[in-house]
Amino acid sequence: MTMPPIDGENVSALTFSGIQDALKTDAPSQADVSTTISSPPPLPELDASLLQCTYVAPDNLQPIPSLSDPSLTQQRQSTDHMIQAKWNSTSGWSAPTLCAFAPLTLSPMASCLHYATQCFEGMKVYRGHDGKLRLFRPERNCERLLKSTTRIALPAFPPEEVLKLIAALCATDAKRWLPADQPGRFLYIRPTMLGTEAAVGVQRPNEALLCIFLAVLPVLDAGSGPGIKLLASQADMVRAWPGGFGWAKVGANYGPSLVAQGEARRRGFDQILWLYGEEGVVTEAGASNFFVVWRTRESEGGKLQLVTARLDEGIVLDGVTRRSVIELAREKLPGSSSSDRDRDGDGSGLEAVEVVERMFTMQEIADAAGEGRLLEAFVSGTAWFIAPVASIHFRGQDIVVPGKGVYTGFLKRCLTGIMWGCDGWQAHEWGFVVDEEKVV
Ligand SMILES: *Cc1c(COP(=O)(O)O)cnc(C)c1O
């Protein structure tokens, strides 16, 4: 379906590939703020080295909750500090600040409160078993934040500056909140960008706020249990559509999904598995990507495959965990075509598995289950990590995932080692060690 151009602008600029093109030419500068003035001096960029820190006085620091504190399930607990940086279209980025975590002041007219000019990231900072503080591939989250801001007309920024700010906040608060002698604790990092201009007109906001805070979350991964229960979405609802913005982590994707998610919880399911279109194309589950391990039919070779939705249609989020699962599986699991299988011996004893990113349907999963070819399913994401799927409710039937989870378990162990610095994965390049002595 092609739509007519609006006001001479190319509508394709709204698609994922359009944003990719825009990023090539605009980022990391302030993406076409004003193009009418003849070569204006460049506006100040976001610059982490200008960070101004105002620390909370020792007497006012919050008590650290124990990991078993039941209030943590409410996910309301922040650490002591937060980072903010303001942008406006005439003066660019101002110096970022680190100060006490506190409510924001926003005009009731603020763009984000009306027009969903809001996007975010979700990451974790881990206190490793070797005492080090680590982020997991954080540059990917910062680049994705830039894609999301660009999609909703919020300003661009150099992603590496956001990473420096994230590291600064972690270095400030992790000493107390993730003590070095308590390995295995983590904090959830939430960078968010808001359109803050106080003007009711429907237009590109001329003011924005980048805000980063750390939250204390309970452990959400249902890893050791029998697995999570998914409810496949009804034919009359979709989370995202081609040409839309499902690929961006914008708030506008989440509010409208909460009615379905609430209903799933009431009916005893953990998440919605979002399908797309009449054929029931499998996309992702809640705020996690989705994988299956199945065997192809004998007529198609009877080989094992690890399958997940491809990104081409732009209806699935490009998860950092998803990407990492794919890369690890290709590198560490014996592949059906490669001869250099099992280099480190980690995946030894496992049958070769082919990693496939493609469009696949719920009926294909149902057929595989019915024919005894479905082995495993799991969801992947920062919040739930790698969680095995026990069953999927689809058109009145429960599709039970029978497998023992050997591939799920293998991939989860590799990622756990990288994130928490253990089992020989301490030096892996995906683990970003935060220098706790250096704030910026
Ligand atoms: C955040 C998110 C994911 C997971 O992405 P990660 O980078 O792995 O945390 C998957 N799907 C959706 C819709 C998300 O919002």
137 domain residue, yes or no: yes
Would the CB of 322 count as within 6 Å of ligand 1? yes
Would the CB of 284 count as within 6 Å of ligand 1? yes
Would the CB of 271 count as within 6 Å of ligand 1? no
Which residues of the chain have a pLDDT value below 70?
1-14, 25-39, 220-225, 336-348
Test site for ligand 1: of 317, 378, 412, most ligand atoms within 8 A of the Cβ: 317
* Integer angstrom CA distances of residue 218 from 65, 69, 98: 11, 9, 25
Confidence (pLDDT) at 93: 98
DSSP secondary structure, 214-260, as one string: EE-------TTSS-EEEEEPPTT--S--TTSSTTS-BGGGTGGGHHH
pTM, full prediction: 0.91
Residue 39 CA, ligand 1 centroid: distance in Å: 39
430 domain residue, yes or no: no
385 domain residue, yes or no: yes
Q: Which of 218, 246, 264 is the last residue of a domain?
A: 218
Domain count within the chain: 2
> For ligand 1, what atom is nearest to the CA of residue 286?
13
Would the CB of 249 count as within 6 Å of ligand 1? yes
> Based on the domain organization, do 248 and 395 belong to the same domain?
yes
> Based on the domain organization, do 233 and 378 belong to the same domain?
yes
> Based on the domain organization, do 270 and 208 belong to the same domain?
no
Residue 289 CA, ligand 1 centroid: distance in Å: 6
> Based on the domain organization, do 280 and 297 belong to the same domain?
yes
Q: Which of 188, 218, 248 is the last residue of a domain?
A: 218
- The tokens for 170 are 């972690």
Tens digit of each residue's pLDDT (9 = 90 or more) over 321-358 = 999 999 999 999 998 554 444 444 456 688 999 999 99
- Measured CA to CA, the distance from residue 206 to residue 188 in angstroms comes to 29
Q: Which of 186, 218, 250 is the last residue of a domain?
A: 218
CATH code of the domain containing 103 = 3.30.470.10
Residue 171 CA, ligand 1 centroid: distance in Å: 25
> Based on the domain organization, do 80 and 202 belong to the same domain?
yes
Would the CB of 46 count as within 6 Å of ligand 1? no
> Based on the domain organization, do 204 and 284 belong to the same domain?
no
Would the CB of 408 count as within 6 Å of ligand 1? no
> Based on the domain organization, do 373 and 293 belong to the same domain?
yes
Test site for ligand 1: of 249, 273, 378, 379, most ligand atoms within 8 A of the Cβ: 249
Residue 200 CA, ligand 1 centroid: distance in Å: 31
Would the CB of 405 count as within 6 Å of ligand 1? no
- The tokens for 329 are 């599986």
Domain that holds residue 83: 13-58+73-218
> Based on the domain organization, do 43 and 183 belong to the same domain?
yes
Confidence (pLDDT) at 340: 45
Residue 369: closest CA among 336, 416, 402: 402
Would the CB of 257 count as within 6 Å of ligand 1? no
Q: Going by CA atoms, what residue is nearest to atom 13 of ligand 1? A: 287
2 domain residue, yes or no: no
Would the CB of 230 count as within 6 Å of ligand 1? no
Confidence (pLDDT) at 343: 46
199 domain residue, yes or no: yes
364 domain residue, yes or no: yes
The residue to which tokens 């029978």 are assigned: 402
* Integer angstrom CA distances of residue 135 from 98, 140, 292, 305, 434: 19, 11, 27, 30, 7
Q: What share of the chain is helix, strand, coil (3-state, %, to 5)?
A: 25, 25, 45
